[in-house]
Amino acid sequence: MNLAQTPLALAVATTSTTCPYCGVGCGVTASLKDDGRISVQGDAQHPANFGRLCVKGSALAETVDLDGRLLHPQVRDAQGALQQVSWDQALEQVASKFSAVIAEHGPDAVALYVSGQLLTEDYYIANKLMKGYIGSANIDTNSRLCMSSAVAGHKRAFGEDLVPVCYEDLELADLIVLVGSNAAWCHPILFQRIAKLKETRPALRLVVIDPRRTATCELADLHLPVKAGTDVWLFNGLMSYLAHRGLRDNAFIAAHTKGFEEALAVADAECADPATVARICKVDLQDLLAFYEAFAETEKVVTGFSMGVNQSSVGTDKVNSIINCHLATGRIGRPGMGPFSITGQPNAMGGREVGGLANMLAAHMDLDQPLHREIVQGFWQSPRIADKPGLKAVDMFRSIEEGRIKAVWIMATNPLVSLPDADLVQRALQKCELVVSSDVITQTDTNALAHVLLPALAWGEKDGTVTNSERRISRQRAFLTAPGEARGDWQIICEVARRMGFAGFDFDGPQAIFDEHARLSAYRNGEADAGGAQRARRVFNLSGLTGMDKAAYDAMAPIQWPVQRLSDGSISGTARVLEDHRFTHADGCARFVPTAPRTPGHAVCEDYPLILNTGRVRDHWHTMTRTGKSATLASHIPESFIDLHPQDALLYGVREGGLARISSRWGAMVARVQHGGGIPRGNVFVPIHWNGQSASDARVGAVVNPVVDPVSGEPEFKHTPVAIEEFRVGWHGFILTRHALDLDDITHWTRVQGRDFVRYELAGRNHISDHTAWARALLGVQADDADWLEYEDLSDGSYRAVHVVDDRIDMCLFMSARPDLPSRSWLAGLFAKDKLEEADRVGLLVGQPIEKGADAGPTVCSCFGVGRNTICNAIRAQGLTEVSQVTACVKAGGNCGSCVPEIKKLMVEIRVQGEAEARERETAA
Ligand code: SF4
C-alpha cells in the first residue's frame, strides 16, 4: 500500500465495524498500527463470525488506499471530457435535470439504480425520495440480480419477506442441505462454521445440490449434480415422497397453512416417481433416494439456498418448491430447521427492509395495498406516493435504451458489467440524456459513460447499518476520515432532494435516518382494516430501536430483528422468527405455492449447444473495484477462465491453457480454458468479476441471457445457451512490470495487481518482425538502455526480454507461439528481491528457475502466499494426509481456512496419482 495514498485514520484506537463483502456480515475491528498502516482483524465479539475472517475480510486493509479514488465531483463537458466542478454545480445539475425531465415527461421518466453495497440509511433515503416525493417506484437495486427470487418466494409463502432461521440453526441441525450454493467460496465463514461442526459432530450430514462439483462438495456426505435448472422437479419429487409416505405434518398443515392439496397435486403430476425425477434431473436414482430418505427421517433440517436457486427464470418457483417441503413437514420456526436464503451482498437484507426494490414499499409494506400506501405516505407526510410497481433492473435499462427513461442515477454499482445483456446497458447509457453515478472509484465501465460523477464515501469512511443473512443489524462505523470532497450517499441524496424542492430530507446524520426508519417499521404495525384483517401487520419491526440518541446509535451492538423494548427498558432481538407459526398473510396462514416444473428460459440448440453458468471465485468480489487492489486476493485466480469438461473441449476444438471465445445471442467474451474437474458435460462456468478495466474482452455480462423470472424479475445468470470456439492468436505472452502500461493495441490482455508489480497476460494476432524494437516500444525502454537481457528462438517463436534497473528486475516480457509460458509465481518472487543474483539472471534467460524449489506454483493459500507446488511437494515428501499437517508444515490453511477445500482436493489428487503409479509399477514388475 502506498502510504501517501492512504486516507487518514480517525483518532479512535480500534473501531468495530462490519465486513463490506458477503451476506454473512462478519464483524471486524480496524485499528491503526504504529507504522501508520491500518490493521483489520475479525471481531471476536461479533456473533456472525466470532473473530474469524475469510481471505477477503482478512485482506481488507490492502483495499483502503486512495489509488483510483473519485475524490471530487466531475461533470462531462461538451467535448466529452470530465471536468472537476464544485459540489454546488454538480448537485444543481442533477437536481435541475431530474426536475426538468419529471416536469416534461412525468415521474416515470427518471430512475434510480442502487446497490446492496449501500448502507440501510442511504437506501432508506433513496427509496423515500423516489417513492414518496418524485412519486415513481422506478428505483431498483443490484440485489435484484442475486436474491429477489428469495424475496418473492418468501412473500408468496409467508406473506412477508422473512428469513425464518439464524446461523445458530445450522449448528442445531442434523441435516444441512445446500442448494445452488458454493458456500465454501461465496460465504466462507458460514461454511467454516459447518466444517467445524462436522468435525465435532460427525453425525451431522451435509447434502450439496449443484450442477458443479464445487469446493463446497469437498465437505459433503452427498453431492447431487442436478442438471442445471431442474431443482423444481427435485423438490416437487421430495414433497411427493414425503406426502405419500406418511411423513407430512398434518396437524401443522391444517392449523397453519393453505393450499397443500393443490401444491401436492401439481408436484405429483410430474414428480411422484423418483425414477422419473432422477432421469429429468440427471442424478443417480440411489443418490436421489438417499437424499429423500435423509430429509424424511431427519427432523432438524436446514435447507440453505443461494444464487444457484435464485438466479433463474424459474427462481421463485425453485424457492417455493423448497419452502413447500418445509411447510409440509412443519419444519419451520423451530430450532435447527427451516428454509434459509443465504444472501449475496452485505446489505441485501437492509435494502429489502427499506423497500429498495421497485415492487416494494418501505418497512416491508406493499405498493399494491392501499392501506400500506396510506400508512407510508402519512408517516412521511410526503406530497405523493408511488401507486404501482416500478421497473425492475433489466426492464429499467431496457426502458432507458428505448428512450422512455431519460435520466438515471446509479449508486455504488457497475451495471455495465454486472447486468445481463450488458451491451444493451452500454447502448442504453450512451443514449440516456443524463447518467449520474455516485461511486468511490473514478474509472469503471459504467462511469466511462456517466455525465456526472459524485464522489461517495467508501467502506471505512462511511457510517450506518447493514443487515446480514440472519436478520442481524450491525453497525458499519467510520475509522478513516472522508478523503477529498467525498460525502456519504445519504448526504448526496438529501442535497439533491432539497434542491428539487422537497421537504423531509433535513437529517443531521445517519442516526436520525435510522430512527425514522425504525419508527416507520413500528408505525401502525398490526393495525386492522375495516374488515378486521390485520393487513398492516409486519413481523419486521424495530420498535425497540426507536428513540436512540447518537451515543446509543454509535454503541449499538449487533441485533436481529424484530427488536422490542422490554419493560425494564432493555432491548431484545429475535434469533428466530415464525416461532408462533403466525404468518403475515391476513389470515395468519402460510401458503403452499403450486410449482409446476418449467425449463429455464432458453434451451440449447445447434448454434448454442452449451449452458453457461456464471458465479464468483473465492477471492474476488463483484467487479473487483475493491478486491482487484489487493495483491493477496489477485494471486489466487489472476485471470478470467472458461471451465468446461475435457470431452467438450475436445469436441469444440479448444484446449486447456489456450484462449476461447464464448458467444450467445446477446454478446461474446474471451477467457482462458481450464478443466477444473467439477463441470458436467454440456456446461461451462465463467466468473462474473472481470470487466473492461481488468481485461480487454472478458465481460461475461455481455453474454448472459436477459430473460427474467416472471415473478421476481431476477435474471437467468445460470442458464445461457452459448457456443465456444478457439480464440486464434499468433502469439501468447505476459509482462510483469513495476509500471502501468497502455495495451490498447494488443488483441487480448488481462491486468492483475501483484505485490511489487502489475502483471499483464497478453495474446496477439499481429506479426512481429523485430521483437527487440517491438518489446522496447511496448515497455517504454530506450533503445540505448543497456541493462536489457533478451533471448529469441525463431524456431519455436519464443522471446524473452528483461529490463534491470539498479540490479533489480524492473520489467520482464515472455512470449511464445504457444500458451505454455514460464511460471509467473517464480518471476513474481524475483520482484521481491532487492538484487538479482547470477542464478536469477541465468534463469531469466533460460526461462525457468535454476534453484530447486524456487517456483512455488500458483497461489492456493492467499493469506500466507503458499503456492500449489509448495503444498504438493510437502504432501508427497512427508506423506501428509491431514490439512492440519499441511498447515504445520507450510502454513497453508492456517489463517482464514478459505483454501482448506483446495488443500483437501490436492491431497486426494496426489493419493489417487500415487495409487495409479503403484499399480503401474506392480504391473511392470
Ligand atoms: Fe467478509 Fe468473508 Fe465474512 Fe463474507 S465471510 S462477511 S467476505 S469476512
Domains and CATH numbers, the chain: 13-62 (3.30.200.210), 81-138+360-527 (3.40.50.740), 148-341 (3.40.228.10), 610-726 (2.40.40.20), 731-846 (no CATH), 859-924 (1.10.10.1100)
Among 5-19, 292-306, 847-861, the range with the most confident prediction by mean pLDDT is 292-306
Question: Directed axis angle between helix 900-924 and helix 868-878, to 10°?
Answer: 50
Cβ(54) – ligand 1 distance below 6 Å = yes
CA distances (Å), origin 542, targets 25, 468, 565, 841, 842: 19, 15, 9, 66, 68
**DSSP-derived secondary structure letter, 387:** -
β-sheet bridge partners, residue 476: 464
Q: What percent of the chain has pLDDT over 70?
A: 98
pTM (2 decimals)? 0.94
Give the pLDDT of residue 540: 97
Phi, psi of 749 (to 5 degrees): -145, 155
Residue whose CB lies within 8 A of the most ligand 1 atoms, among 19, 472, 624, for a mutation test: 19
Run of H or E including 172: helix 167-172
Ligand 1 pocket member 59 (CB < 6 A): no
Q: Residue 167: CB within 6 Å of ligand 1?
A: no
Give the CA radius of gyration of the chain. 28
Q: What is the DSSP string of 514-553?
A: HHHHHHHHHTTTT---TTS--TT--S---GGGTT--HHHH
Q: 186: CA distance to ligand 1 center in Å?
A: 8
Verify whether ligand 1 is closer than 6 Å to residue 57 (CB atom).
Answer: yes
Grid coordinates representing 736 are: 510483469
Distances (CA, A) of 427 to 114, 146, 397, 415, 722: 19, 23, 9, 12, 22
From 17, 29, 54, 619, mutation site for ligand 1 pocket: most ligand atoms within 8 A of C-beta: 54
Confidence at residue 614, expressed as pLDDT on a 0 to 100 scale = 97
Our answer on whether the CB atom of 188 is closer than 6 Å to any ligand 1 atom is yes
pLDDT-based confidence at 896, cuts 50/70/90? confident
Residue by residue, what is the 3-state secondary structure of 731-774? Answer: EEEEEEECCCCCCCCCCEEEEEECCCCEEEEEEECCCCCCHHHH
Q: Name the phi and psi angles at 196, rounded to 5.
A: -65, -40
How far apart (Å, rounded) are the C-alpha atoms in residues 464 and 445? Answer: 28
342 within ligand 1 shell (Cβ under 6 A): no
Query: Would you state the pLDDT for residue 820?
Result: 87
pLDDT digits (tens, 9 = 90+) for 311-337: 999 999 999 999 999 999 999 999 999
Mean pLDDT along residues 475-494: 97
d(CA 756, ligand 1 centre) in Å: 26
- Please work out whether the CB of residue 327 comes within 6 Å of at least one atom of ligand 1: no
Using the atom order of ligand 1, give the atom closest to the CA of residue 898. Answer: 2
Find the range with the poorest average confidence among 85-94, 283-292, 748-757: 748-757
Tracing cell 421463485 back to the chain, one arrives at: 316
Helix 260-271 × helix 315-328 angle, to 10°: 110
Decide if pLDDT at 858 tops 70.
yes
Q: Is the CB of 186 under 6 A from ligand 1?
A: no
Residue nearest to atom 4 of ligand 1 (CA): 22
CA–CA–CA angle 270, 275, 280 (5° rounding)? 60
- Residue 40: CB within 6 Å of ligand 1? no
183 close to ligand 1 (CB < 6 Angstrom): no
496 Cα: distance to centroid of ligand 1 (angstroms): 33
pLDDT for position 798: 92
Best probe residue, ligand 1, of 28, 49, 117, 146 (max atoms within 8 Å of C-beta): 49
H or E element: which one contains 371? helix 370-380
Residue 446 scores a pLDDT above 50: yes
Residue type, 919: R
pLDDT tens figures, 111-163: 999 999 999 999 999 999 999 999 999 999 999 999 999 999 999 999 999 99
Q: Which amino acid is at 224?
A: L
Closest by CA to 866, choosing from 835, 830, 838, 899, is 899
Contact predicate 243/577, CB 8 Å: no
Number of the ligand 1 atom closest to the C-alpha atom of 468 = 6
Q: Would you list the DSSP string of 619-636?
A: T--TTSTTGGG-HHHHTT
CA of 48 to the centre of ligand 1 (A): 9
pLDDT-derived band at 573, boundaries 50, 70, 90? very high
> What per-residue confidence (pLDDT) applies to 1?
39
Q: Which three cell numbers stand for residue 368?
A: 399494491
386-433 pLDDT per residue, tens: 999 999 999 999 999 999 999 999 999 999 999 999 999 999 999 999
pLDDT digit string, tens, across residues 866-893: 999 999 999 999 999 999 999 999 999 8
Q: 894 pLDDT band (50/70/90 cuts)? A: confident
pLDDT of res. 11: 52
Is pLDDT above 90 for 8? no
Average pLDDT over residues 62-85: 95
Give mean pLDDT, residues 892-916: 88
Check whether the bond before 164 is cis (ω within 30° of 0): no
DSSP 8-state code for residue 405 = -
48 and 468 Cβ atoms separated by less than 8 Å:
yes
Task: Decide: helix, strand or coil at residue 150.
Answer: helix
- pLDDT of 677 over the 90 cut: no
Please state the length of the chain: 925
Identify the bridge partners of residue 15 per DSSP, sorted by sequence position.
30
**pLDDT-derived band at 178, boundaries 50, 70, 90:** very high
Q: Kindly give the distance from the C-alpha atom of residue 52 to the centroid of ligand 1, in angstroms, as a whole number.
A: 9
Q: Average pLDDT over the chain, rounded to whole?
A: 94
Q: Which single residue is written with the C-alpha cell 466468473?
A: 687
Q: 474: Cβ below 6 Å to ligand 1?
A: no
**Candidates 53, 55, 185, 466: which one to mutate for ligand 1, based on the most atoms within 8 Å of Cβ?**
53
Q: Which helix (DSSP H) or strand (DSSP E) does residue 39 occupy? A: strand 38-42
Q: Report which ligand 1 atom has the smallest distance to the Cα of 42.
A: 8
Which residues have C-beta within 8 Å of that of residue 606, sequence separation ≥ 6?
A: none
- Rounded distance between C-alpha atoms, residue 712 and residue 732, angstroms: 44
Per-residue pLDDT at 2: 40
The reply to whether ligand 1 has any atom less than 6 angstroms from the CB of 56 is yes
Cell numbers representing residue 611 in the block: 449452458
Q: Does 26 contact ligand 1 (Cβ within 6 A)?
A: yes
Tell me the CB-side half-sphere exposure of residue 659, using CA atoms within 13 A: 27
Question: Residue 804: pLDDT above 70?
Answer: yes
- DSSP string over 7-67: PPBPS-SEEEEE-SSSTT--EEEEEE-TTS-EEEEE-TT-TTTTT---HHHHTGGGG-S-T
Judged against a pLDDT cut of 60, whether residue 203 lies above it is answered with: yes
Measured distance between the N- and C-terminal CA atoms of the chain, rounded to whole angstroms: 58
Task: Identify which of 232, 867, 125 has the alpha carbon closest to the alpha carbon of residue 489.
Answer: 125
Those residues whose C-beta lies under 8 Å from the C-beta of residue 88, and which sit 6 or more positions away, are none
Question: What's the confidence (pLDDT) of residue 12?
Answer: 56
DSSP class per residue in 621-684: -TTSTTGGG-HHHHTTS-S-EEEE-HHHHHHHT--TTSEEEEE-SS-EEEEEEE--S---TTEE
d(CA 573, CA 576): 9
Which residue carries 436414482 as its cell?
Answer: 285
C-alpha closest to that of 571 among 538, 540, 545, 539: 545
Pairing label, strands 788-793, 798-805: antiparallel
pLDDT of residue 4: 40
Selection from 404, 461, 816 nearest residue 626 by Cα: 461
Q: What is the pLDDT of residue 3?
A: 38
Rounded to whole angstroms, how far apart are CA atoms 242 and 252?
14
For the beta carbon of residue 795, count every other beta carbon within 10 angstroms.
7
The full 3-state SS of 194-233, as one line of letters, equals HHHHHHHCCCCEEEEECCCCCHHHHHCCEEECCCCCCHHH
In whole angstroms, give the CA distance from residue 436 to residue 557: 35
Provide, rounded to the nearest whole percent, the portion of the chain with pLDDT above 90.
85
Which atom of ligand 1 sits closest to the CA of residue 190? Answer: 5
Instruction: Give every CB contact of residue 876 below 8 A, 6+ residues apart in sequence.
Output: 910, 914
Tell me the pLDDT tens digit for each residue of 273-310: 999 999 999 999 999 999 999 999 999 999 999 999 99
Handedness of CA 837, 838, 840, 844 (dihedral sign): positive
796 pLDDT band, cuts 50/70/90, is confident
- 187 alpha carbon to ligand 1 midpoint, in Å? 7
Contact call for residues 77 and 90 (beta carbons, < 8 A): no
